[in-house]
Structure formats: C-alpha cells, structure tokens
Amino acid sequence: MKSTHTLPRPETWLDRYGEDLFAYAAARLPGREQAEDMVQETFLAALKGLDGFRGDSSERTWLFGIMKRKIVDFYRRQARNPQQSFSDFSLPFHRDGADAGHWIEARAPRSDSIEDRIQGKEFYQVMKMCIEMLPPRHRMVFILKVMDEYDSQSVCDRLGMSKNNFWTIMHRARLQLRECVEKKGF
C-alpha cells in the first residue's frame, strides 16, 4: 500500500527553493557558475528520482540531501583531476617576489578596523578564496566537517578514508587556511 505523503511539485521548486539551494552551493563551490550548475543538477536529479521520494522527509530536506551528494561528487571529481582549475584564485594577490600572497593594493578590501573587516564581507570573501585554494581532497574534507557539520566518522565513511588520514588532512587544511588568511591581512 502506498503512503499518503505529499508528492513533490517540481513546478514550484525554483521559486520555493532556488535561492536557498544556490546560497548553499555558492558557499561550498569555487564560483557562481558551479553553484548555478549545481542547482540545475540537483533539480534534474530530483526529477529523475521523483518516483523514489518516499515522503520520509520534507521536499526541501530531500532536495538539499541531493545537493549535498552532488557537491561531494563534484569534489571527488576534483580530487581525481587535480590539474583541472576553474579559475585563478590568486588574481587579487601578488604572485612573485617578496609580496607574493599579499593583496595587490588596488584590489585590496578597504576597512577602518579589524573588527569591521572580520565581521564584513571581506573576511568571508578571503576565507572562501582560501578554502578554494586548498588541494581538492583537503577542501572536500574541510567543507564536509566544518561547513556541512558532518561528524568525523561520517566524513571518513563518505570518502573512504581512515580516521588517521582524516585528522591529518584536517590538521593540514587548518594550517593552510590559517596561513592564507594571515597572509591576506587578517
């Protein structure tokens, strides 16, 4: 006997969930294009899997679950093809010499105090850029653990890694992020 749950209504997804899905993807992926593509891929996968929706969760939760798996797949592909680069994340920074890694003055964010900078969009942009500059596997582990708040064992299970490998990668990712953020003036 079929359950009496409400069936998803694909014609309403974009209006109801599009902005939230995009914001979620944009915080976890390297660029706007990837986030837009991820929303489309999520909707397409949901359409293909519509018959599999059992109603155990809300339509919103179901769509976000699909997106989370798609983002993990994105970073798995990145880890397999590390030479693939979507953009040059060092553009606002000097590349060579004693100033390497520091802001190019004309592109540097402006703020009056450190508190304003940390609380503002500039810190978020720098942190996002620094996360994007992590090696793909480090980035994937960090995002799953810190941003998506998966417990350590879940990250290990999803990525097929040992706890020791997980903690080594997390340690290295945090060190790299700290160094990057400090170099950018925070």
The tally of domains found in the chain comes to 2
pLDDT at 117: 52
User: Are 115 and 170 within one domain?
Assistant: yes
Rounded-to-5 percentages of helix, strand, coil across the chain: 65, 0, 35
Q: How many residues does the chain have?
A: 186
Torsion of CA 66, 70, 71, 75, to 10 degrees: 150
- Yes or no: say if 71 and 21 are a contact pair by the CB < 8 Å rule: no
pLDDT at 105: 65
Three-class SS of residue 182? helix
The single residue listed with the structure tokens 């390297």 is 30
Three-class SS of residue 84? coil
What's 140's domain CATH number? Answer: 1.10.10.10
The pair of structure tokens assigned to 119 is: 């609380």
Q: What is the pLDDT along the chain (186 residues), one digit of tens a residue?
A: 444 556 668 888 888 898 999 988 888 887 788 889 999 999 999 989 888 888 788 889 999 999 998 988 888 777 776 554 434 444 566 666 666 666 666 656 555 555 655 556 777 788 888 888 888 889 989 988 888 888 889 889 888 889 999 999 999 999 998 888 888 776
User: Are 15 and 60 within one domain?
Assistant: yes
- For residue 63, what are the domain limits? 10-80
pLDDT at 120: 62
User: Are 178 and 116 within one domain?
Assistant: yes
User: Are 58 and 18 within one domain?
Assistant: yes
User: Are 170 and 111 within one domain?
Assistant: yes
Measuring CA to CA, how many Å separate 16 from each of 42, 55, 58, 165? 14, 18, 13, 39
User: Are 76 and 115 within one domain?
Assistant: no
In a domain, 30, yes or no: yes
pLDDT at 102: 66
The model carries a pTM of 0.53
In a domain, 88, yes or no: no
pLDDT at 88: 43
Q: Which amino acid is at 140?
A: M
pLDDT at 39: 92
